[in-house]
Amino acid sequence: MKKPLPIIALLVSMIIWSVSGIAIKHALAVLPPFTMIVMRFVPSVLLMLIIGLVRRKHSLFCLQKMELKDLPLFLIAGFCQPFLYYLLETYAYDALNSPTIAETLLSTSPLLSPIFAAVLLRERVTKYNILGILISTAGVFALTLAGSTNYSIGSYWGIPLAFAAVSAAVIDSIMMRKAPLKYSSLSFVFYTQLVSLCFFIPIWFVKEGPQVFDNAQWTLDNGQFVTALWCVGYLTVFASVIAFILFCYALRQIGVTQANAFNNIRPAFTALWMFLFFSEHLPLAKWIGMGLIIFGLFVCQKHEKVSDS
């Protein structure tokens, strides 16, 4: 397996994101959804601005000034993710009765990535990429569906909403790949999250806005509120800054198809944390699913031998 640094960066970002769902669940127990999102991304943008201004030399964490000709690229990326992805994901969960079905549909980005990458980037997709993604995705299905009893669909609108969310995330990764290399990974993540805030804040103001502070009973002696603040802090520093920068760096090194294949390992890490720290039962089928995911990732990273003829 070549290029160990991007692989390590992907694994670290997936470990961080695998805890995000748990953190979001605890934060939403106290905070309305758009309030939580704004509280998460405003500090992350400010943090990246400070880091970028301090690290002026060219590196992974410096911040370059955006050129006007590149504005459309950042507008598309920021609109697709975080903004559109989170919006569609929320409505998909609301429309589908079963969270299990929703999680399974929302974990299909590795299946769509080769199609988008081949069409929009002319990125070469090998038989090992396809085989590895299929094996890994079979593992995701085994992991998410094993032991579940609720398979009722609910509103069928949830299915296209879930696939639209996944498509938005893949398009964002396409924009990462297309971004000129003169922009550091921090610069790309900074500008896309800044664009997303321009969409999030007006919706927050209309849907929740100032009234959220009138209705909420937020005190520092409220243990649940303090937990929510710690969760938002984790989402800000680790999930929104560190993980996104590492993922952007790795994707630009190894390509959209191979990088997005690692999204399949996130449910495996989440299941492992739930098993280790919350005593959640893991039946044999889930362990088999995790094994298939890891094996599929190894297959996906395998390189085809180039013929000399």
> What DSSP string describes 150-193?
----B-TTHHHHHHHHHHHHHHHHHHHHHS-TTS-HHHHHHHHH
pLDDT > 90 fraction of the chain, expressed in percent and rounded: 34
Backbone angles phi, psi at 307, to 5 degrees: -70, 140
Q: Report the pLDDT averaged over residues 7-16.
A: 94
Pick the closest to residue 78 from 30, 45, 33, 32 (CA basis).
Answer: 45
Contact 162, 105 (CB under 8 A): yes
Residue 272 has pLDDT above 90, yes or no: no
For 17, the 3-state DSSP assignment is helix
Q: Report the pLDDT averaged over residues 143-163.
A: 72
| Residue 25 CB neighbours (<10 A) | 10
| Residue 182 CB neighbours (<10 A) | 10
Tell me what pLDDT residue 6 has. Answer: 92
Tell me what pLDDT residue 216 has. Answer: 60
DSSP state of 57: S
Tell me what pLDDT residue 297 has. Answer: 84
